[in-house]
Copies of this chain bind each other. A is one copy, B any other.
Amino acid sequence: MFETAEIGNRLSKRAFEREAPKVRTALLDAQRRLATSPLAVVILIGGVEGAGKAETVNLLLEWLDARGVEVHAMWDLSDEERERPPMWRFWRVLPPQGRVGIFFGSWYTAPIIDRVFRSAGATELDQALDRIIDFERMLAAENVLLAKFWLHLSKDVQRKRLKELEADPRQSWRVTKQDWKFFKKYDRFRQISEHALRRTSTAEAPWNIVEASDARYRSLAVPQTLLRMLGERLDRVQRAVRSKPVPDRPKPKPVNVISQLDLSKRVADGEYRRDLLKYMGRINLLSRRLRERRRSLLLLFEGPDAAGKGGAIRRLISAVDARNYQVQSVAAPTDEERVRPYLWRFWRSLPRLGRITIYDRSWYGRVLVERIEGFCRAEDWQRAYTEINAFEEQLAEFGIILLKFWMMISPAEQLRRFKDREVTPYKQYKLTEEDWRNREKWDAYVAAACEMIERTSTESAPWVLVEADDKNHARIKVMKSVHRALKSALRA
């Protein structure tokens, strides 16, 4: 596929000077349209050393209005990055709507380099590429335009380029040992990147291969291509008759995983107190090993209002060192979160290795409240199952022990708790009009939860269904499950 970028494309100075101002002007116009659109732009600049990647980034910075652009050089990892799944560093800097992020080095760099230097096998590379395809598909669905550029030089041209630079005393600093080290691997690098590019040139995010031997040709080709992609996508966004979000009220099956729960399960007070202390001690000891084993514990709680999520969480955290856990209460997203892909806010708050993080409500809001209340469009919550599974797979692979609790109560028990909240002054804040309204959608929530459990309960991230009509039973079941998960993960 690189042959098309070895045909000697050149541009005369005159042609460049005639075309450049037009492209600059048009690019600025497009950027102005972008600024008020729901679109974000991610530009990846990849390719061989000496092909002018840095110059291309500088040129884009010059031709675009730099105030709307951020450049992210994906240089070596910090330990905060190393202590999170590999994609974290890219998620954390995704540009918001209306803005452009230029990535110098990207999620392709590590898979390709690992394969070139043989620290990864062919299967691993393909697995990594498949994930990238999923990730880029998600970006496309979330209105992120991905413009991927690969600057190509033939072997001869690259050798010549490096030698020329080295020979010029004023430019020799541009060539490093690293460049020659990479040059030796030219053929292998070419073969592997060709494979990677072919596989990841999808309809949503095709690669643009740019012949880079002539600086003027390259300097015009990149912005021109960007301009075309941006224009087309902006047109599409404007024309698109986007389906309106509508509430979805699924009906539960007569017999389902939730209806089958035996909510009458009870634990007597004496047994509760004894077991609680027992598990607190055990969890505490195990939790101290998380750091040394470079593991984390991530727990999330979902369930109807008043199901006892908060109470269970408080029992848990009193067992562990307060310096070592964090409770994330998930409420409405902030403005900065709203203008980025859905999962951004959760990636953003992902804890470092060694910690315990507890989510009181979570990313599953997408397929529960957002689905039922119509806060997002049907296609958005429908693709969420896949995206969430991919997300949790990354967490699990990274060594995060993940447990998901569905706390279930009966409508009658909920009513009793609501009434109790009404009469207890310091509990009143927990009860809102919305809680009463949600009761009316009980069946829809049960049905959505069943579908969620069915589609997202995996071996590495299982759902634990907790019968919660009796608080004693619910809390002990949570403690027991956490203990068991820690034990099996840490003693393994």
Which positions in A face B, CB cutoff 8 Å?
A: 21, 24-25, 27-28, 32, 53-55, 57-58, 61-63, 65-67, 69, 71, 73-75, 78-80, 83, 104-105, 170-171, 173-174, 277-278, 280-281, 284-285, 310, 314, 317-318, 321-327, 329, 331, 334-336, 352, 360, 424-426, 428-430
Contact = CB atoms under 8 A, between A and B. Distances in A.
Contact of A327 (B21, B71, B318): B71
B28 A66 contact: no
Given A54-B321, A55-B318, A65-B430, 12 more contacts: A21-B424, A25-B425, A25-B428, A54-B318, A58-B318, A65-B429, A74-B323, A79-B80, A104-B323, A105-B323, A173-B285, A334-B336
A334 B67 CA distance: 14
B284 A58 contact: no
A45 to B, nearest CB: 9
Contact of A78 (B281, B317, B352, B430): B352
A6 to B, nearest CB: 25
Nearest to A21: B426
How many copies the complex holds: the figure is 2
A64 to B, nearest CB: 10
Contact of A58 (B54, B317, B329, B335): B317
A429 B28 contact: yes
30 contacts: A21-B424, A21-B426, A24-B426, A25-B426, A25-B428, A54-B318, A54-B322, A57-B322, A58-B318, A61-B314, A61-B327, A62-B314, A66-B310, A67-B331, A67-B360, A71-B327, A73-B324, A73-B325, A74-B323, A75-B323, A78-B78, A78-B83, A104-B323, A105-B323, A170-B278, A170-B280, A171-B281, A173-B284, A334-B335, A334-B336
